[in-house]
Structure 1
C-alpha cells in the first residue's frame, strides 16, 4: 500500500515538473516574442513585444519629405495596432498548450477570461453625478 502511495506521489511530482517546464518554455517564448508591421511604401516599420508595446520604430529618412506629420503619426499608430494584433495571436498560440482546453487564450491575455458579458459592459454614467453647472469661479469659493 505504501508503494502505491509512493508511486502516486512520484507521478504527481513528475507531472508537476513537466507542467513547470512547459510553463517556463511559454514564459521564455513570450519574453522574446516580437511582431512587426511595415507600411506598403516601406517608409515605416514598427515592432512590438508580446503585450503590444512598441519596442522599435524605424522611419526611413525620405518619409519626412513624403508624409505630412499627421500622416506619419497615423501610419505609426495603424502599424502599431497591426503589429500588436499579430503579437496577440502569437502569444495566444504560445499559451494555448499550457491552458485547460476550455480556456480562451485571447481572453486570458486581455484579462477578461473569467468575466461574463454583463461584467464586460461599461457601466452607464451616474445620472446624479454631473459637473456641468460647477465652476471654480463661484462667489462662495473666493480665497481671502
Structure 2
C-alpha cells in the first residue's frame, strides 16, 4: 500500500516542481526585463521657465544639458548655475520615481 501511495505522490510532486520552475522562469524573465529597462533609462526635467533642460541616466549622471540662448545671454551666471543644478536635481528625482515605478510594475503577483 505504501508503494501505491508513493506512485500517486510522484505525479503531484512533478506537477509542483514544474509549477515552481515555471514561476522561477517568469521571475527571471521579469528581472532581465527590469535590468534592460533600467540600463537604457534616461529621464529629463525642464526648469520652470523652460530655459534649461537636463537629462540623467539611471545612475543619476548628467547625459544631456540644453540651455536656451536667451538665458545664457541675459541671466547672471549665478542664476544660470542655480537653475541648472535645480533642473538636474529634478531629473534625478524623476529618475528615482521612475525606477520605483518599474520595480513596482515588475513585482510578481502572488498566485500561491
**TM-score bracket for the superposition, by shorter chain length:** 0.7 to 0.9
Contact 2:42 2:57 in 1 (8 A): yes
Which stretch of structure 1 is more off in the superposition, 12-21 or 43-52?
A: 43-52
The partner residue of 1:38 within 46, 50, 57 is 46
Contact 1:51 1:88 in 2 (8 A): no
1:99-118 paired onto structure 2 within 5 Å: 99=107
What is the CA-CA distance between 1:65 and the residue it aligns to? 0.9
Q: Deviating runs (4+, > 6 A) in structure 1?
A: none
Question: Larger relative CO (CA 8 A, sep 6+): 1 or 2?
Answer: 2
Judging by fraction of residues, say which structure has more helix.
2
Q: What is the alpha-carbon root mean square deviation over aligned residues? A: 1.9
The answer for the alignment partner of 2:56 in structure 1 is: 48
List runs of 5+ in structure 2 lacking aligned partners.
1-8
Return the alpha-carbon distance in structure 1 between the equivalents of residues 72 and 25 of structure 2: 54
The answer for the alignment partner of 2:89 in structure 1 is: 81
Contact 1:35 1:48 in 2 (8 A): yes
**Matched positions, count:** 101
The answer for the alignment partner of 1:59 in structure 2 is: 67
What is the CA-CA distance between 1:100 and the residue it aligns to? 8.0
What is the CA-CA distance between 1:99 and the residue it aligns to? 4.6
TM-score (norm 1): 0.62
TM-score (norm 2): 0.78
What is the CA-CA distance between 1:88 and the residue it aligns to? 0.7
The answer for the alignment partner of 1:8 in structure 2 is: 16
Return the alpha-carbon distance in structure 1 between the equivalents of residues 19 and 46 of structure 2: 49
